[in-house]
Structure 1
Amino acid sequence: MTQEPATPPRRRMPLLYLVPNLISILALCAGLTAIRAAVEGNFGLAVALIGLAAALDGIDGRIARMLKTESAIGAELDSLCDLVNFGVTPALVLYYWGMRADTSLGWIAVLIYAVCCMLRLARFNVGNRLPEGAEKPKGFVGVPSPAGAMLALLPLYLAYAFDNALRMPPWAVSLWMVFVGGLMISRMPTPSFKGVRIYAEYARFILVGSVALIAALLTYPWVTLLLLDVVYLTAILVLWRKSARSLRSVV
């Protein structure tokens, strides 16, 4: 008679350990609800939900590290949610907002952007699996997917900030999405705030600036988001020029 395998012992775990994965799932729900809002024509809510998903994406990993509950499943959940929230959702929001007049070109742009986001996330995941002792880059290589989503939505910010006076035509929105997708899979250095250190006496200025930024987002959301995109693009350009100069000096 064959003996049945022994049932592995059940183990208990604190309910608090589920918080990081729950945050990732809430971010996914926010992203999917943003698609529903876009289908219903509520693009302001759609953008707000994508922003909420980005905020939740920024804290789930930190909470997991604080609770010491990092796991392979949590990392995979985070990556899969990012693909939906920052690859699929912004592309569909833009498609429903301003690209349905040119369905063929617009849909091609949607597919290219989503695939670029997937490739960016795959490269990021592989980079995080470097062997112990290997030095990780200080900044990002290519635009991260949350920043890519906010950049991709720039045509929408532009239109709403100026009451549709500067609304881009569908073909231009499509080209912009493809351009942002290219930035995500590029090898360009992009800014990262993870390694930024400040002097303690400057902390109060950072806090006041953060409050001012939140107030601006609540009062003038479209103009503020547009300016943030411009500042981010300027930072990318500065880093790229600095990197190009350093390469020329080495040669």
Structure 2
Amino acid sequence: MRLCVLLAGLLVMTGCAATGRPMGGSVIAASYRYSPLTPAAAPKAPLSVTAAPPAASPAPRKQVRPPPPAASRENVLATARELVGNRKVKVAGRTWPDDCTGFVEGVYARAGVSFRGSGVAGDNGVTAIYRYARDHGRVFTRGKPKPGDLVFFRETYDQNRDGRRNDGLTHVGLVDEVASDGTVVVIHRVKRGVVRYRMNLAKPSLRRDPRTGEVLNDMLRVPGATKMPVLTGQLFASYGSVLPDPKPAKPTKAAAVARR
């Protein structure tokens, strides 16, 4: 009998130990307090209250500008070619700033295109023209450009004079023609005036063709002690197209007869 009572007591103790709360657990839990090292940034709204969404700032209104006339590309090209060799950028009796942006603004004015108002705070003139091309046309880095398209370059000089390549877009010109080997002839304004430079994106780091000796990429940045890129192909950033495509030439009678 005494043995049965002892066995029953052992069973009860084992059950409590397996399923009951550990001894001292309530004391430890009650004495522990969470104390954050930093105060809350802001009180949270109750879960039952729906917070109002923040007021959306009004989107800036884009200025709607009429598209350039159909013959504008030819006018731009003719004006740019006439300026080659000149130091001053003078178009239709108006003198423009003697720099790359003044040249582009002057020749594009012949097509009724104005880049004014395209930039934002902190932009230089080249970046403002890039924004116009992006918003009113297209910018691209692949494919064949058309004569009259814009050409953007980056890091052509140390604009902020900190010795680092962090100046972004710093130069702009326009496409004069594209040769059969892919070399692009660019008309732009540099220190000595309006000139033509060449650029070959298939061989951007090659100054001349080793086989023919033809210039593939002109030197756009003054070489310094460091090995920074200096050629047009190395400093190319993007093309920009905002002018209507040239109209295809009408077939002559001889060509029409040949197709029959």
Q: Shorter-chain-normalised TM-score: which range?
A: under 0.3
TM-score, normalised to structure 2's length?
0.27
> Would you tell me which structure has more helix in proportion to its own residues?
1
> Would you tell me which structure has more strand in proportion to its own residues?
2
Larger radius of gyration, structure 1 or 2? 2
TM-score, normalised to structure 1's length?
0.27
